[in-house]
Structure 1
Amino acid sequence: MKTIHHPANTRGGSYHDWLKSKHTFSFADYYAPDRVGFGALKVINDDHIEGGHGLSSHSHKNMEIVSIPLLGALVHKDNMGNESTISAGDIQVMSAGTGVSHSELNASVDTPVKLLQIWIEPNQKDVTPRYQQVSLVELLNRNQFNQVLSPNANDAGVWLHQNAWFSVGEFDAGVTKTYTLNDASNGVYIFVISGSVVIDSKVLQPRDGLGITETDKFTMDVISNAQVLVMEVPVG
């Protein structure tokens, strides 16, 4: 098993009056040659959007875009006719395909939104754009890796155009859990949202990331109550 540790304080960042964003991988004005994604996983942006603000309409193409709000709510509008509010406890995926334009605005004028925005390179180009949003409330069982995304439309959670699986878990201190890959040729990127865990003798704190390759499973020991996002993606 090979691992690469990305401590939270090594991330890049962009700062505006209303938007603060931390970039795990190279993005926008932040470029690090050793941090250009992890296989098909290209972007993990940890965003903070002040109340009354957001991103006006902008375009994407040939990218699978996953949003996971952690605090507050975000109003989504796109040129496919979708208009919805995504809140903490939801997951949203947008397959940009041949091209899509959308806006993302804080639903509140005074409460900030905190969210993870994640980009996955698709395994098919120029697909018909699509949008999907699911509540995770009924999918999350404590002290388990709960699947929230997969390549299969009939699975739990959302789906996208890539051989990728995401799992979210909320764990109690003292728990030990093993994750087994759905595809042994994939890699896994673990992002600690909160709390502290140990994997491969590495202590991971909030917003730390750990990439794992060349194994079909890993074991995680929980030091303090933790929320963890596991992203299994092709790395070849």
Structure 2
Amino acid sequence: MLLKGERTFVVRDAGGFVAHINMPGWLKPKPTDHGQGPLAMVVESILDPGHQIAMHEHRNDEIISWVPDGVMRHDDRAAGRLVIDRDHLMVMNAGVSFWHSEETLASDPPLRMLQILVRPYAVDLEPKIQHGPMPAAAANVWRHLVGPEGEGAPFYVRSAIDFFDMRLDAGLRVEFPQKQGRDLYFYVFSGSVVVDKQTFVEGEQGLHLSDDKLEVEAQSASTLVAFLLDPNASITRQGTVGDHKKIPPAIIIRAFLRWRKFRHIWRRHLSHRRSKTEKAI
């Protein structure tokens, strides 16, 4: 089953820093969790030049920072200053505690990136930081960037999830990555694609609750990310961001989604009635 999510309605605007927060679990018709297994959330972050997010603490989150557009300047008490851009990736395995800040210089281009919050398999693990060049990208081929610790991916998280990216040329079709027993979640960072006869544009997302083959075709030049995740993996839900206490419980989201569906149907009904009235006149 392929579930489609439109551009998220959860947006945090802090003036110069805007976060579009995507909850994979909310794509389900009757959500029971904002995340899907080990994937807590995918945040599209936009930081204007010359802005800083001051030093702050993370606990029990594994955070992947993927920057296809712009430059993100990171500072922490362990590794010091690091630069993440289209050629470099960072994974912050926060564990028991990790402090860091983020900023852009006034001379930097606008920053648009993804910050991916992954749930670890245990709480209070040893804090670590990974930073380095990504493998060279091949045109129209999925690039494997992050996987479970010890399984050979260039970067790792302490959870049962794999992360891929790809730039797909217009008119081309490829298969999504597959792994037995894994669900697929994907996010369209730019462009427009068709998956299972459904169109997904920039900022939209899909959740495939199966390990069956699935193909994607680009209607325009597109950049996508994909995750293979074990929905039954051992996870913890104590991340300071990925499982923040202010995230609404599932029962409230189910009620909101039902209301939004009813509102859409009602608006279509009113539009249809107005159209009939205008024709009669």
TM-score, normalization by structure 1: 0.88
Q: Tell me what 2:218 maps to.
A: 222
Report deviation, 1:156. 4.1
Q: Distance in 2 between matches of 1:111 and 1:172?
A: 25
1:18/1:115 CA distance change after superposition, 3 Å: same
Q: Tell me what 1:106 maps to.
A: 104
Give the strand-richer structure, 1 or 2. Answer: 1
Partner of residue 64 from structure 1, selected from 56, 62, 65: 62
Q: CA RMSD in A?
A: 2.1
Q: Point out the more displaced range, 81-90 or 191-200.
A: 81-90
Give the helix-richer structure, 1 or 2. Answer: 2
Q: Tell me what 1:185 maps to.
A: 181
Q: Tell me what 1:29 maps to.
A: none
1:108/1:154 CA distance change after superposition, 3 Å: farther
Report deviation, 1:74. 1.6
Computing the radius of gyration over CA atoms, which structure comes out larger, 1 or 2?
2
Q: Tell me what 2:113 maps to.
A: 115
Aligned residues: 227
Tell me, what secondary structure is at the counterpart of 1:149? strand
Q: Tell me what 1:36 maps to.
A: 34
Q: Distance in 1 between matches of 2:221 and 2:194?
A: 12
1:102/1:34 CA distance change after superposition, 3 Å: same
Partner of residue 137 from structure 2, selected from 135, 140, 154: 140
TM-score, normalization by structure 2: 0.75
Q: Distance in 2 between matches of 1:11 and 1:185?
A: 30
Tell me, what secondary structure is at the counterpart of 2:220? strand
Name stretches of at least 5 consecutive residues in structure 1 with no aligned partner.
Answer: 27-32
Q: Tell me what 2:154 maps to.
A: 157
Partner of residue 74 from structure 1, selected from 72, 75, 85: 72
Asked whether the equivalents of residues 167 and 230 of structure 1 are also in contact (C-alpha less than 8 Å), the reply is yes
Identity of aligned residues (%): 23
Partner of residue 165 from structure 2, selected from 165, 168, 193: 168
Asked whether the equivalents of residues 74 and 107 of structure 1 are also in contact (C-alpha less than 8 Å), the reply is no
Partner of residue 196 from structure 1, selected from 192, 198, 212: 192
Deviation per CA, 1:136-187, whole angstroms, max 9, x where unpaired?
3x431111111111114563431111111111111112211112423x2221
Q: Point out the more displaced range, 211-220 or 47-56.
A: 211-220
Name stretches of at least 5 consecutive residues in structure 2 with no aligned partner.
Answer: 25-30, 233-281
